[in-house]
Amino acid sequence: MSAQKNILLLGSGFVAEPCLEYLQRSGNNRVTVACRGIEKAQELASKYQNATAVSLDVENDAALEAAVAAHDLTISLIPYTQHARVIKAAIKAKKHVVTTSYISPAMQELDAAAKEAGIVCMNEIGLDPGIDHLYALKIINEVRDQGGKILSFESFCGGLPAPEASNNPLGYKFSWSARGVLLALRNNARYWQDGKLVEIQGKDLMDSARPIFIYPAFALVGYGNRDSSHYRERYNIPHAETCVRGSLRYQGFPEFAKTLVNMGFLDDTPREALSAANAADLPWNKVSQQLLGHSSDNSDELLKLIEAKIDTQDPEIRKRIIHGIKWLGITSPKVMASKRGTYLDVLCARLEDLMMYGEGERDMIILQHKFEVENKDGSHNTRTSVTLMYGEPNGFSAMAKTVGVPCAIATQLILDGKLTATGIVAPMTPDIYQPIMDLLPSEGINAVEETL
């Protein structure tokens, strides 16, 4: 029987439980769930026999170092800004670390020290990043090994409600805070398109959305996700004239989201009138009146002002957006706004009231890689790889599972001595990604490949 392994799991968010469930299966793992507030850690740990809960403040260096040193490996599912702190503690204790986050500059700076300590610091092993790397590199390396070239690479991924649960004007729902989703609408995008470097400002991001065909059943659109220009080098596809990674949403989302942006709802400046310290009731028509700088709080007048903020001239989409504004109730004198301090957070509260997943509703993740390939003999074809997964009603969401399970698989492989590359690493080479990919199908996670 294998020796017992002790794992420190930092964080108890929605991704943590699928990760913990997988790690419990071996019978040899003992997992300590650590959070600042012990109640959440206890709630998760109580479901599993070999799990215990502790309170831990990761900003307390001495406490963090002691906790990391007492375990064989630490999984960091806390905000990415804390990962470098965790890795420093792991280097000091010569213990392994796994995260699902992109490698930040602060993390990369610790590469030499991690190698010197002889530890594996595995990162980017969730869904996006994570599973996307595995299936992209599989095809890229197959083409290269056969003497071919990748001329174009497009990758789009989305976490969405399953079609039957996409029953609101945005076609979107939240498993947790809406704030991150809304703030992502401010991100710039940068990618290669037909040999030209394209740079899109955050204010124009929704205007850049275009239809993405995956299956006829889905009306999907996609737009660039931050800076993907460097993936030509990272994936070693120097001949790719197009190289873009992006996000997927259902049709209609970009136009509606852009209207909210045009209204000014991404403003996160604290406002006294929106403060919880303000004792007066705050009906939504008053919020929109202030935001739009209008003299009247009349709902019909506010709707006319909002209609002028709609960029698209498509009459059907314009009608859908106005219907959506009414559905949100943000011009109504009868709907009270939550006083969250900023226009952004007041809107987040309203979206969370109306657009959280309900009892028994499923989410969905969909990921498509699309490659234009020049083969060794000079012929051309298109190759696609599609991962589609649905959440379990009242069980694990597809998003939680596709982030938490790859993380757990990588953890187990490190503990078993099957992933040994030291330093700050990501699943970019076959010795790392192939063992992980081999275990995904048994968890219901796979990719369907097609050559067109």
Task: Give the C-alpha distances (Å, rounded to integers) separating 324 from 50, 85, 320, 321, 377.
Answer: 47, 43, 6, 5, 53
> 206 near 258, Cβ under 8 Å?
yes
User: How is residue 159 written in tokens?
Assistant: 């976490």
Mean pLDDT of successive 10-residue stretches along the chain, which has 452 residues: 87 93 94 94 94 94 96 94 95 97 95 97 96 97 97 97 95 86 90 96 93 96 95 96 97 95 93 86 93 94 95 93 96 94 94 93 97 97 98 94 97 96 96 96 96 94
Picking from 119, 123, 29, the residue whose alpha carbon sits closest to that of residue 75 is: 123
Enter the pTM of the model. Answer: 0.92
What span, in angstroms and rounded, lies between the C-alpha atoms of 92 and 35? 21
Give the residue numbers annotated as catalytic, written as ranges.
128
